[in-house]
Structure 1
Amino acid sequence: MSLKLLFGFHAVTVRLKVAPHSVRELYVDASRRDQRMRQFLVKANDAGVAVIEADDARLQQLAGTHRHQGVVARVEAVQNAHSLDDLLDGLSEPPLLLVLDGITDPHNLGACLRVADGAGAHAVIAPKDHAVGINATVAKVASGAAETMPYFMVTNLARTLGELKERSIWVVGTSDDAPRGLYDADLKGPTALVLGAEGSGMRQLTRKHCDELVSIPMMGGVESLNVSVASAVCLYESRRQRGFKS
């Protein structure tokens, strides 16, 4: 079975919590003995995972970056337990989905997963051919959300949007030139919020499959928001309209 790397306290701690059996090797900075590391080592011990002490050079080699925080793990890939259909069938509240079209930067994806987790979205959806997959950088930026937020990469995004509409999920795209503002839209019901990459936005085919287009009001001099910030604005507006009920 192929292994992948996780690094940083948040990403590795969440994996220890949700799937400790998948952690094959856990490396820690032998010179770091501050409170945060001591607390982390307790969690590793509680999870039954042995640690391997290493120096900074070895950790950098493993992680491919100096931003490892003294924690690097080799882990088995954890597959989503459900298909998108199974996940939707099992929900007890109106679905809230984040659809990302053309997001290829791992930092943006990691931040979007973190936002989606915080806002209580049920899943993040992206096309296989216009998106970045879950890698170590995504997991680090996501601060654990890459382990908890279902991320579905679909072969045909337009077809998937059509299938969501067949489930009576309202597909709301964001666009700077939309005739209606975000705060005028009804996001209380089953909703899929579609965001494109900063600058280029959604692809035309994706745009055509949206039920409605809305814009995020921009009051200052900048023309647009980073996609993770825009995702937060949209997701939390939907949660606000729903009364933040889980």
Structure 2
Amino acid sequence: MSSHSERNDARRGKNQRPGGRFPRRTEAVSDDWLWGWHAVAAALANPRRAQPRKLLATAERAREIERRFGPLPGLEVCDNHAIAQRLPQGAVHQGVAMQVEALESVELSDFAAEPGAVLVMLDQVTDPQNVGAILRSAAAFGARGLILQDRHAPKLAGALAKAAVGAVDAVPTAHVVNLSRALEALADAGWRAVGLDGSAEADLEDVLDGSPTVLVLGSEGEGLRRLVAEHCDALARIPMPGEFESLNVSAAAAVALYAASKIRP
């Protein structure tokens, strides 16, 4: 009797679909959905976010959401299966998913060139898991922002947001048309660009100097494109005394961000 009452209490005032019926899973749902507790909680806490179009949660998660954020319009209480039906196959949603508007991009001018400040720029890094992991490292080491190219970047939602564990809403992201021109604008604003290149002669720690720094990383297959590399003030490699020749781009970003964090004034 008590469990039945608790379920009714959890559903009181919420919008439910008759019979718990949800549309069948579609293939293109991940472009505007967030799932996983950390990704959804960070989005709900972000004042730059618009109200979610849909917010699905199990009864337990719904109670947790209301404790942290108060009553939210459109919160639908449903079971795990109903949530999974709205998401890509195999999505680990942890009892909560949210359909959202795209997070608004920030401008390059929003990044203040202060001593010790670090930005991350990605040159055609397109794998959502890698970009999500890089965002997570950027948040962990206090990077001021991420810079992506419009045409060659995954959406900041779906599997990327799940991998970022809330960092999509913690690290401001700028989308630009041309990375080379963006580096020129950042240089005019006082930023120094350091490109990571495995064939560079200088070690990363020898190149970093504590000035406002843009760490520029290229794709795993091709590395930095020529024009992007030419717009960097310095190229540097991560020294690896082991037998492996290279790191995954997300691992390289984490190492570079750690190195930059050690020399901040």
State how many pairs are aligned: 233
Q: Is the 8 A contact 1:16 1:43 kept in 2?
A: no
Is residue 26 of structure 1 aligned with residue 48 of structure 2? Answer: no
What is the match of residue 183 of structure 2?
161
SS of 1:179's equivalent in the other structure is coil
Name the CA shift for 1:110/1:213 in 2 (closer, same or farther; >3 Å). Answer: same
Deviation at 1:41, TM superposition (A): 5.0
Deviation at 1:94, TM superposition (A): 4.6
Match of 1:17 among 42, 45, 53: 45
Whole-angstrom CA distance in 1 between matches of 2:181 and 2:130: 24
SS of 2:82's equivalent in the other structure is helix
Whole-angstrom CA distance in 1 between matches of 2:44 and 2:237: 40
> Runs ≥4 in structure 1, deviation > 4 angstroms?
91-94
**What is the identity, as a one-letter code, of the residue corresponding to 1:217?**
P
SS of 1:76's equivalent in the other structure is coil
Is residue 42 of structure 1 aligned with residue 67 of structure 2? Answer: yes
What is the match of residue 215 of structure 2?
193
What is the match of residue 8 of structure 1?
36
Whole-angstrom CA distance in 2 between matches of 1:59 and 1:180: 50
**1:99-126 deviation per Cα after TM superposition (whole angstroms, max 9, x unaligned):** 1111110111111111111111111112
What is the match of residue 107 of structure 1?
129
Q: Is the 8 A contact 1:198 1:224 kept in 2?
A: no
Deviation at 1:188, TM superposition (A): 0.3
Whole-angstrom CA distance in 2 between matches of 1:222 and 1:125: 28
**TM-score (structure 2 length as normaliser):** 0.80
Rg comparison, structure with higher value = 2
**TM-score (structure 1 length as normaliser):** 0.86
Q: Is the 8 A contact 2:108 2:186 kept in 1?
A: no
Name the CA shift for 1:218/1:92 in 2 (closer, same or farther; >3 Å). Answer: closer
Deviation at 1:76, TM superposition (A): 2.8
Identical-pair percentage: 37
SS of 1:72's equivalent in the other structure is strand
Is residue 61 of structure 1 aligned with residue 82 of structure 2? Answer: no
Root mean square deviation of aligned Cα: 2.2
**What is the identity, as a one-letter code, of the residue corresponding to 1:9?**
W
Deviation at 1:135, TM superposition (A): 2.3
**What is the identity, as a one-letter code, of the residue corresponding to 1:11?**
A
What is the match of residue 230 of structure 2?
208
What is the match of residue 249 of structure 2?
227
Deviation at 1:130, TM superposition (A): 2.4
What is the match of residue 74 of structure 1?
99
5+ residue gaps, structure 1, are none
5+ residue gaps, structure 2, are 1-30
**1:165-219 deviation per Cα after TM superposition (whole angstroms, max 9, x unaligned):** 2223111001111010012123301111101112321111111111111000112
Whole-angstrom CA distance in 2 between matches of 1:52 and 1:88: 38
